[in-house]
Amino acid sequence: MTNDRDNERLKDVRKLKKILKLVPADRKDIAEKLIVEISFVAETLADLREKIKENGTVDHFKQGKQEFLRESPALKSYNTTIQRYSLLYKQLTDLLPPPEVDSKKKNEVLDFITKQG
């Protein structure tokens, strides 16, 4: 199991390193730090996912005389962490230069729009 997780993590890091190559030099330090955080958060998400699979999405909670079902703490952490993961990825992709638009395609789109109007 750990071997599979390590292999998966290495694949993810390789993909992120490919993205790093596209980041302009003046932003590489920030991108590298984001990649470290993304990797950590991805590992945390994998751990939380395993706990959710093992224990389910609800938890039996007892405090004194009160007993009830509540959202699993692992699920709650997972939901919060996945949002942070998405934000980190967005920050990383925002460091990339804007994609180059082919001027021919751009003109074709403008021609199409003006013909419709």
pLDDT reported for residue 2:
62
**CA-CA distances (angstroms) from residue 68 to 23, 26, 32, 62, 102?**
50, 53, 44, 7, 59
117 vs 110: CA distance, rounded Å: 11
CA 41, 9, 5, 82: dihedral to nearest 10 degrees?
Answer: 30
According to the model, what pLDDT value does residue 71 have? 92
Q: Is the pTM of this model over 0.75?
A: no
**H or E stretch at 93:** helix 73-94
pLDDT of residue 117: 54
CA distance 24 to 98: 11
Q: Which residues of the chain have pLDDT under 70?
A: 1-2, 101-106, 109, 116-117
pLDDT for the residue 101 = 63
